[in-house]
Amino acid sequence: MEAFITLVATEPYAAGALVLNHQLRKLGSVNNRDFVCLVTPNISDHVLDLLSKQQITIIKVDTLRSSNYDNLKLLGRPDLDITFTKIHLWNLTQYSKVVFLDADTYPLKRIDELFNVEATFAAAPDAGWPDCFNSGVFVATPSKTTYSELLSLAASEKGSFDGGDQGLLNTYFDSWSTSPAQRLPFTYNTTPTTQYG
């Protein structure tokens, strides 16, 4: 089984998850795959009901928070302290391959070919830091070992260089920059406010 996964750790992200689900269904990408929302305990029953009525698989997870507030403040994004919660997707070993999409992403065409990526992890370059990948879109193979190692890294002093999940995942998957098999084309995760040359 394969799945598209997103994270709903605050209620405003539920709207994005609903739009993302609608777009993937419109494109025909979830006909034989699950669309999964990782949801945290603070999400109301009303929002859970809205999600479940749209054929979304809801998986309740604990909120994992970054304690590196200084780096998050430097980024101007203290709200990203909850993004460590993404780590839970590596625990979903009922899926052979997952494509994670932040709830504020919007596929313009089918991206089903991402499930054919042979690497156990792959991501596109970040627009601001091209030596790093952006953690808003990535392909992963769930693994209890990876899940456990990411939890340990998140709790360590080394943790995340930016305070969020992107710094944590770039630290863990540190061979990304030198491994062509792990690099997705940047077109899988472009930012409309960024200029590309």
- Give pLDDT tens digits for 182-192: 999 999 998 77
Instruction: For residue 153, tell me if it sits in a domain.
Output: yes
Domain that holds residue 176: 2-189
Instruction: For residue 91, tell me if it sits in a domain.
Output: yes
Instruction: For residue 34, tell me if it sits in a domain.
Output: yes
pTM of the model: 0.90
Number of domains in the chain: 1
Q: What is the CATH number of the domain that holds 32?
A: 3.90.550.10
3-class state of residue 94 by DSSP: coil
Q: What is the pLDDT of residue 95?
A: 98
- Give pLDDT tens digits for 85-121: 899 999 999 999 999 999 999 999 999 999 999 999 9
Instruction: For residue 194, tell me if it sits in a domain.
Output: no
Instruction: For residue 99, tell me if it sits in a domain.
Output: yes
Q: What is the pLDDT of residue 194?
A: 61
- Give pLDDT tens digits for 25-83: 999 998 889 999 999 999 999 999 999 999 999 999 998 766 665 555 555 554 555 67
pLDDT band, very low/low/confident/very high, at 131 (cuts 50, 70, 90)? confident
Instruction: For residue 23, tell me if it sits in a domain.
Output: yes
Instruction: For residue 197, tell me if it sits in a domain.
Output: no
C-alpha span between 154 and 174 (Å, rounded): 15
Residues with Cβ within 8 Å of 95's Cβ and at least 6 positions away in sequence, in order, are 1, 2, 3, 34, 142
Instruction: For residue 30, tell me if it sits in a domain.
Output: yes
